[in-house]
Amino acid sequence: MSDEDALQKQPLMEAEAVSWWSWRSGMRPGRAFVFGGLLSFMALFLLANGVTTLVADILDNSAIPVRVPGVVTGRGKDVLGAPQLTLRLEQTGFPATITLVVAPATATALVNGSAVIVDYAPHRRIAYALESRGQRYLLPGTSATGDLWQSLSLLLSGLLLLPYPSLLSFWGWRDLRGGQTCRRTARVVALRAARQTTTRAPGLVPRTTHIWHGVALQMDDPSANTPEILTFGISQEQHAQLKRGERVEVRYTPHLHRLYALKPLP
């Protein structure tokens, strides 16, 4: 019995057992490298920002605040209606004028011309309290120790965002660097047409429908580097021409599984 006859006699997997989800995106290598790299840099920025703010919060928790003298020069409200005070600071190394959101009681107690002391967290350089004539006024939404949940959310966002874009960029780089494609023979296990509908606001833009066509292939000679079943997105014409059990030759990138060619075999 020839090798081709042996391959033909191998049992064909049931279509219902095919998993259409895959880590391999099927993107073009160059696009995957750039897109994954940009998301990876964003994740690294979030991680660095989270670590920096967390360390600064820990240091500020036990540090003496930086006390900056100033004078109230104006009053107003922000876009949400919360009272604000405009202060002129009298110490080099800090802005000449700042505007702080304050509690209503603080805005009532401090009038224009009032001398104040602004307490700054020494490492984060964030104002968190005002002092005037022996009275201390905390600023809403701030504290000497910072916001622990904000630092943790930055760290968590970076940790969740980093792994897959990094892998996507790495696969794109490997496919670009190698410049080679895999050429394999396989049999069609299943075909899929998934309808994706986008609904706009009624009366403005009509509903649009997009159909994604896919094929699941059972490799004739699976190896340690190639799973037995591979799935690819295909065109509507290819979807209409293929049928279950048909032998095909497929050419794709080894890491991203970008499909370049798929043709039936006699």
Say which residue the tokens 């993107």 belong to: 27
Does 32 have pLDDT greater than 90?
A: yes
Give how many domains the chain has, as a whole number: 2
Cα 178 to its chain centre, rounded Å, is: 28
pLDDT band at residue 207, thresholds of 50, 70 and 90?
low
- Contact yes or no for 110/85 (Cβ under 8 A): yes
Closest alpha carbon to 31 in 203, 173, 141, 153: 173
Q: Structure pTM? A: 0.70
Element (H, E) at 102: none
- Contact yes or no for 152/54 (Cβ under 8 A): yes
Low-confidence winner among 61-70, 158-167, 170-179 (lowest mean pLDDT): 61-70
Return the pLDDT at 201: 46
Distance CA 148, CA 50 (A): 10
Domain enclosing residue 258, as ranges: 3-45+160-264
Asked whether residue 55 is assigned to any structural domain, the reply reads no
Return the pLDDT at 209: 62
The CATH number of residue 72's host domain is 2.40.50
pLDDT band at residue 244, thresholds of 50, 70 and 90?
very high
Do 119 and 30 share a domain, yes or no? no
Return the pLDDT at 203: 46
Better pLDDT: 164 or 224: 164
The CATH number of residue 215's host domain is 2.40.50.660
**Secondary structure of the chain: what % helix, strand, coil (to 5)?**
30, 35, 35
In this structure, the strands spanning 247-252 and 66-77 are unpaired
Does 1 have pLDDT greater than 50?
A: no
Average pLDDT for residues 179-201, to the nearest whole number? 81
Residue 143 CB coordination number (10 Å)? 16
Three-state DSSP at 213 gives strand
Return the pLDDT at 30: 95
Q: Note the maximum CA span of the chain.
A: 101
Asked whether residue 50 is assigned to any structural domain, the reply reads no
Do 177 and 252 share a domain, yes or no? yes
Three-state DSSP at 119 gives strand
Do 117 and 240 share a domain, yes or no? no
Average pLDDT, the chain: 87
Distance CA 126, CA 113 (A): 23
Do 179 and 242 share a domain, yes or no? yes
Does 31 have pLDDT greater than 50?
A: yes
- Contact yes or no for 215/231 (Cβ under 8 A): yes
- Contact yes or no for 194/234 (Cβ under 8 A): no
List 67's β-bridge partners, or say none.
Answer: 119
Do 40 and 87 share a domain, yes or no? no
Return the pLDDT at 196: 62
Q: What CA dihedral angle connects 181, 25, 260 and 195, to 10 degrees?
A: 160
In this structure, the strands spanning 247-252 and 259-264 are antiparallel
Phi, psi of 106 (to 5 degrees): -65, -40
Better pLDDT: 35 or 1: 35
Asked whether residue 86 is assigned to any structural domain, the reply reads yes
Element (H, E) at 100: strand 97-101
Does 198 have pLDDT greater than 60?
A: no
